[in-house]
Protein backbone atom coordinates (compact mmCIF):
# COMPACT_ATOMS: atom_id res chain seq x y z
CA UNK A 1 0.00 0.00 0.00
CA UNK A 2 1.59 3.28 -1.02
CA UNK A 3 -1.41 5.56 -0.61
CA UNK A 4 -1.85 7.46 2.63
CA UNK A 5 -5.62 7.34 2.86
CA UNK A 6 -5.93 7.53 6.65
CA UNK A 7 -6.03 10.85 8.48
CA UNK A 8 -2.66 10.40 10.14
CA UNK A 9 -1.00 9.37 6.87
CA UNK A 10 -2.33 12.57 5.28
CA UNK A 11 -0.96 14.56 8.20
CA UNK A 12 2.46 12.94 7.72
CA UNK A 13 2.42 13.81 4.02
CA UNK A 14 1.44 17.43 4.71
CA UNK A 15 4.08 17.82 7.40
CA UNK A 16 6.91 16.31 5.42
CA UNK A 17 5.97 18.13 2.22
CA UNK A 18 6.38 21.23 4.42
CA UNK A 19 9.74 19.95 5.78
CA UNK A 20 11.21 18.36 2.62
CA UNK A 21 13.66 21.21 1.91
CA UNK A 22 14.35 22.27 5.47
CA UNK A 23 14.93 18.69 6.67
CA UNK A 24 17.35 18.03 3.80
CA UNK A 25 19.26 21.23 4.69
CA UNK A 26 19.21 20.76 8.48
CA UNK A 27 22.79 20.74 9.79
CA UNK A 28 21.80 18.62 12.79
CA UNK A 29 20.07 15.99 10.69
CA UNK A 30 23.03 15.78 8.29
CA UNK A 31 25.84 15.71 10.87
CA UNK A 32 28.35 13.08 9.73
CA UNK A 33 28.96 11.66 13.22
CA UNK A 34 25.25 11.08 13.77
CA UNK A 35 24.75 9.49 10.35
CA UNK A 36 27.89 7.35 10.73
CA UNK A 37 26.79 6.05 14.14
CA UNK A 38 23.69 4.61 12.45
CA UNK A 39 25.16 3.29 9.19
CA UNK A 40 28.20 1.78 10.97
CA UNK A 41 25.73 -0.77 12.37
CA UNK A 42 25.37 -2.16 8.83
CA UNK A 43 28.26 -4.55 8.16
CA UNK A 44 30.23 -3.45 5.07
CA UNK A 45 29.49 -5.88 2.22
CA UNK A 46 29.78 -4.95 -1.45
CA UNK A 47 26.94 -7.19 -2.58
CA UNK A 48 24.47 -6.49 0.25
CA UNK A 49 21.01 -5.10 -0.56
CA UNK A 50 19.48 -2.80 2.07
CA UNK A 51 16.17 -1.01 2.42
CA UNK A 52 15.83 2.30 4.25
CA UNK A 53 12.33 2.61 5.69
CA UNK A 54 10.79 6.12 5.96
CA UNK A 55 13.86 7.50 4.22
CA UNK A 56 12.89 11.19 4.04
CA UNK A 57 15.40 13.00 1.81
CA UNK A 58 17.71 9.95 1.81
CA UNK A 59 20.39 11.14 4.25
CA UNK A 60 20.82 7.64 5.70
CA UNK A 61 20.55 5.95 2.28
CA UNK A 62 23.37 8.12 0.90
CA UNK A 63 25.55 7.60 3.98
CA UNK A 64 24.98 3.83 3.79
CA UNK A 65 25.54 3.53 0.02
CA UNK A 66 29.39 3.32 0.07
CA UNK A 67 29.27 0.35 2.52
CA UNK A 68 26.85 -1.87 0.61
CA UNK A 69 25.77 -2.95 -2.87
CA UNK A 70 22.49 -1.01 -3.06
CA UNK A 71 19.93 0.82 -0.95
CA UNK A 72 16.22 1.23 -1.68
CA UNK A 73 14.65 4.11 0.24
CA UNK A 74 10.89 4.02 0.85
CA UNK A 75 8.79 6.92 2.17
CA UNK A 76 5.11 7.85 2.45
CA UNK A 77 5.64 11.48 1.38
CA UNK A 78 5.95 12.12 -2.37
CA UNK A 79 7.85 15.38 -1.77
CA UNK A 80 10.49 13.47 0.21
CA UNK A 81 10.93 10.89 -2.56
CA UNK A 82 11.40 13.70 -5.10
CA UNK A 83 13.91 15.35 -2.79
CA UNK A 84 15.77 12.07 -2.10
CA UNK A 85 16.15 11.42 -5.83
CA UNK A 86 17.42 14.91 -6.61
CA UNK A 87 19.86 14.95 -3.68
CA UNK A 88 21.30 11.54 -4.64
CA UNK A 89 21.67 12.64 -8.27
CA UNK A 90 23.37 15.89 -7.21
CA UNK A 91 25.77 13.91 -4.99
CA UNK A 92 26.49 11.40 -7.78
CA UNK A 93 25.40 8.44 -5.63
CA UNK A 94 24.31 5.79 -8.10
CA UNK A 95 23.56 2.70 -6.01
CA UNK A 96 20.45 4.17 -4.36
CA UNK A 97 16.86 4.14 -5.54
CA UNK A 98 13.73 5.62 -3.96
CA UNK A 99 10.07 4.62 -4.04
CA UNK A 100 6.82 5.78 -2.51
CA UNK A 101 5.59 3.30 0.09
CA UNK A 102 4.21 2.69 3.55
CA UNK A 103 6.52 1.42 6.30
CA UNK A 104 3.67 -0.68 7.69
CA UNK A 105 3.06 -2.51 4.37
CA UNK A 106 6.28 -2.62 2.35
CA UNK A 107 5.95 -3.55 -1.31
CA UNK A 108 8.97 -5.87 -1.06
CA UNK A 109 8.87 -9.71 -1.11
CA UNK A 110 9.72 -11.79 1.96
CA UNK A 111 13.39 -12.64 2.74
CA UNK A 112 14.88 -10.63 -0.12
CA UNK A 113 17.18 -8.00 1.42
CA UNK A 114 20.25 -8.28 3.66
CA UNK A 115 19.25 -5.49 5.99
CA UNK A 116 16.58 -2.91 6.82
CA UNK A 117 17.31 0.39 8.54
CA UNK A 118 15.25 3.32 9.78
CA UNK A 119 16.03 6.54 11.65
CA UNK A 120 13.70 9.04 13.36
CA UNK A 121 10.56 7.42 11.95
CA UNK A 122 8.88 5.21 14.56
CA UNK A 123 7.66 8.20 16.59
CA UNK A 124 5.55 9.29 13.59
CA UNK A 125 3.83 5.94 13.15
CA UNK A 126 0.78 4.83 15.18
CA UNK A 127 1.69 1.12 14.99
CA UNK A 128 5.50 0.89 15.21
CA UNK A 129 5.25 -2.86 15.81
CA UNK A 130 3.94 -3.24 12.22
CA UNK A 131 7.07 -1.46 10.96
CA UNK A 132 9.38 -3.86 12.81
CA UNK A 133 7.32 -6.80 11.55
CA UNK A 134 7.70 -5.57 8.00
CA UNK A 135 11.44 -4.97 8.39
CA UNK A 136 11.82 -8.48 9.76
CA UNK A 137 9.65 -9.96 6.98
CA UNK A 138 11.70 -8.53 4.09
CA UNK A 139 15.15 -9.30 5.58
CA UNK A 140 16.70 -12.72 4.90
CA UNK A 141 17.45 -15.01 7.85
CA UNK A 142 20.81 -13.96 9.31
CA UNK A 143 20.33 -10.38 8.13
CA UNK A 144 20.03 -7.17 10.17
CA UNK A 145 17.34 -4.77 11.33
CA UNK A 146 18.68 -1.40 12.52
CA UNK A 147 16.53 1.25 14.22
CA UNK A 148 17.55 4.67 15.52
CA UNK A 149 14.97 6.92 17.11
CA UNK A 150 14.72 9.62 19.70
CA UNK A 151 12.98 8.10 22.67
CA UNK A 152 11.25 9.47 25.73
CA UNK A 153 11.68 8.93 29.46
CA UNK A 154 10.38 5.85 31.25
CA UNK A 155 8.90 8.24 33.86
CA UNK A 156 5.25 8.97 32.91
CA UNK A 157 5.21 12.67 33.92
CA UNK A 158 8.38 13.38 31.98
CA UNK A 159 7.10 11.51 28.91
CA UNK A 160 3.71 13.29 28.97
CA UNK A 161 5.41 16.70 29.22
CA UNK A 162 7.78 15.83 26.38
CA UNK A 163 4.96 14.62 24.09
CA UNK A 164 3.02 17.89 24.45
CA UNK A 165 5.97 19.85 23.08
CA UNK A 166 6.64 17.43 20.22
CA UNK A 167 3.00 17.47 19.06
CA UNK A 168 2.65 21.24 19.30
CA UNK A 169 5.74 21.65 17.16
CA UNK A 170 4.93 18.88 14.60
CA UNK A 171 1.32 17.67 14.32
CA UNK A 172 2.48 14.47 12.56
CA UNK A 173 4.36 13.40 15.71
CA UNK A 174 2.56 10.36 17.17
CA UNK A 175 4.48 9.19 20.24
CA UNK A 176 8.06 8.55 21.23
CA UNK A 177 8.71 5.04 22.52
CA UNK A 178 10.70 4.52 25.70
CA UNK A 179 13.97 2.54 25.46
CA UNK A 180 12.37 -0.45 27.21
CA UNK A 181 9.33 -0.41 24.95
CA UNK A 182 11.41 -0.20 21.79
CA UNK A 183 13.60 -3.11 22.88
CA UNK A 184 10.44 -5.09 23.73
CA UNK A 185 8.92 -4.47 20.28
CA UNK A 186 11.94 -6.10 18.63
CA UNK A 187 11.55 -9.15 20.84
CA UNK A 188 7.78 -9.20 20.19
CA UNK A 189 8.28 -9.62 16.42
CA UNK A 190 10.86 -12.36 16.96
CA UNK A 191 14.04 -10.41 16.32
CA UNK A 192 17.22 -11.37 18.21
CA UNK A 193 18.82 -8.47 20.11
CA UNK A 194 22.31 -7.71 18.77
CA UNK A 195 23.18 -4.47 20.56
CA UNK A 196 21.77 -1.24 21.94
CA UNK A 197 23.54 2.14 22.00
CA UNK A 198 22.79 5.72 23.02
CA UNK A 199 24.44 8.25 20.72
CA UNK A 200 24.49 11.95 21.63
CA UNK A 201 22.20 14.02 19.40
CA UNK A 202 22.06 17.80 19.66
CA UNK A 203 20.41 20.24 17.32
CA UNK A 204 19.98 24.01 17.10
CA UNK A 205 16.79 24.66 19.06
CA UNK A 206 15.48 27.49 16.85
CA UNK A 207 16.09 25.48 13.68
CA UNK A 208 14.25 22.48 15.18
CA UNK A 209 11.31 24.61 16.37
CA UNK A 210 10.99 26.57 13.11
CA UNK A 211 11.10 23.48 10.88
CA UNK A 212 7.96 21.93 12.39
CA UNK A 213 4.77 23.34 10.87
CA UNK A 214 3.35 24.01 14.35
CA UNK A 215 6.52 25.49 15.83
CA UNK A 216 6.20 29.18 14.97
CA UNK A 217 2.48 29.40 15.91
CA UNK A 218 3.00 27.53 19.19
CA UNK A 219 6.37 29.04 20.13
CA UNK A 220 4.97 30.96 23.11
CA UNK A 221 3.12 27.98 24.56
CA UNK A 222 6.14 25.72 24.05
CA UNK A 223 8.30 28.31 25.82
CA UNK A 224 5.96 28.19 28.82
CA UNK A 225 6.10 24.40 28.85
CA UNK A 226 9.90 24.48 28.75
CA UNK A 227 9.78 26.43 31.99
CA UNK A 228 7.66 23.69 33.60
CA UNK A 229 9.83 20.65 32.85
CA UNK A 230 9.45 17.91 35.46
CA UNK A 231 12.70 17.26 37.35
CA UNK A 232 12.69 13.69 35.97
CA UNK A 233 13.11 14.73 32.30
CA UNK A 234 16.31 13.40 30.70
CA UNK A 235 15.32 12.68 27.10
CA UNK A 236 14.48 16.22 25.95
CA UNK A 237 16.71 18.97 27.32
CA UNK A 238 17.11 22.56 26.05
CA UNK A 239 20.44 24.15 27.06
CA UNK A 240 22.03 27.56 26.59
CA UNK A 241 20.65 31.04 26.07
CA UNK A 242 19.01 33.21 23.40
CA UNK A 243 19.87 32.34 19.79
CA UNK A 244 22.45 29.79 20.87
CA UNK A 245 20.08 27.33 22.51
CA UNK A 246 20.64 23.62 21.78
CA UNK A 247 18.17 20.77 22.08
CA UNK A 248 19.60 17.44 23.28
CA UNK A 249 17.46 14.39 22.52
CA UNK A 250 18.06 10.84 23.68
CA UNK A 251 18.95 9.04 20.45
CA UNK A 252 18.73 5.27 20.94
CA UNK A 253 20.11 2.81 18.40
CA UNK A 254 19.19 -0.88 18.22
CA UNK A 255 20.46 -3.70 16.03
CA UNK A 256 18.68 -7.01 15.75
CA UNK A 257 19.38 -10.19 13.77
CA UNK A 258 16.69 -12.03 11.86
CA UNK A 259 16.72 -15.65 13.08
C1 LIG B 1 11.74 12.82 10.67
S2 LIG B 1 11.70 12.21 9.03
C3 LIG B 1 13.12 11.13 9.02
C4 LIG B 1 13.73 10.94 7.64
C5 LIG B 1 14.92 9.99 7.60
N6 LIG B 1 14.57 8.69 8.13
C7 LIG B 1 16.12 10.54 8.33
O8 LIG B 1 16.30 10.24 9.52
O9 LIG B 1 16.90 11.32 7.75
C10 LIG B 1 10.37 11.07 9.11
C11 LIG B 1 9.99 10.48 7.75
O12 LIG B 1 9.09 9.38 7.98
C13 LIG B 1 8.18 9.35 6.91
N14 LIG B 1 7.04 8.53 7.32
C15 LIG B 1 6.18 8.74 8.35
N16 LIG B 1 5.27 7.75 8.41
C17 LIG B 1 5.58 6.86 7.41
C18 LIG B 1 5.03 5.63 6.98
N19 LIG B 1 3.97 5.08 7.57
N20 LIG B 1 5.62 5.00 5.95
C21 LIG B 1 6.70 5.53 5.33
N22 LIG B 1 7.25 6.71 5.67
C23 LIG B 1 6.70 7.37 6.72
C24 LIG B 1 7.86 10.80 6.65
O25 LIG B 1 7.28 11.01 5.39
C26 LIG B 1 9.25 11.44 6.82
O27 LIG B 1 9.91 11.52 5.58
Ligand 1 mean position to 242 CA, how many Å? 30
HSE on the CB side for 122, CA within 13 Å?
Answer: 31
For residue 83, tell me if it sits in a domain. yes
In a domain, 2, yes or no: no
Supply the range of the domain harboring residue 98.
7-257
Model pLDDT, residue 213 = 98
State the total domains in the chain. 1
Atom of ligand 1 nearest to the CA of 101: 21
Residue 236 within a domain: yes
Q: Quickly list DSSP for 30-66.
A: H-HHHHHHHHTTSPPEEEEEEEEES-TTTHHHHHHGG
The per-residue pLDDT string of the chain (259 residues; one tens digit each, 9 = 90 and over) reads: 445 569 999 999 999 999 999 999 999 999 999 999 999 999 999 999 999 999 999 999 999 999 999 999 999 999 999 999 999 999 999 999 999 999 999 999 999 999 999 999 999 999 999 999 999 999 999 999 999 999 999 999 999 999 999 999 999 999 999 999 999 999 999 999 999 999 989 999 999 999 999 999 999 999 999 999 999 999 999 999 999 999 999 999 999 999 9
pLDDT recorded at residue 153: 98
Give the contacts of 122 (CB within 8 A, at least 6 positions apart): 128, 131, 147, 149, 177, 182
User: What predicted TM-score, i.e. pTM, was given to this entire model?
Assistant: 0.97
Pocket (CB within 6 angstroms of ligand 1): 12, 16, 29, 54-56, 59-60, 75-77, 80, 102-104, 119-121, 124-125
Pairwise CA distance, residues 22 & 243, whole Å: 18
1 in a structural domain? no
Does residue 32 lie in a domain region? Answer: yes
**CATH code, domain with 146:** 3.40.50.150
Residue 175 lies in a domain: yes
Cross-strand bridge partners of residue 151: 250
Whether residue 161 lies inside any domain: the answer is yes
CA gap 20, 192 in Å, rounded: 34
Substitution candidate for ligand 1 out of 54, 199, 252 with most atoms within 8 A of CB: 54
Dihedral angle sign, alpha carbons of residues 124, 4, 219, 200: positive
Amino acid sequence: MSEATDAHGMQVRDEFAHQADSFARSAGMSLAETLDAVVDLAPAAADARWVEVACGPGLIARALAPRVGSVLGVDLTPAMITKARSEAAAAGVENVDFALGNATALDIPDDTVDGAITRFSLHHIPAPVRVLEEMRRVVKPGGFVVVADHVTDEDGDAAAWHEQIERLRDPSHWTCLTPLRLAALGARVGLEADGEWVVPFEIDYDEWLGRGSGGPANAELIERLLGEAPATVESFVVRGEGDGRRLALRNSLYRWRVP
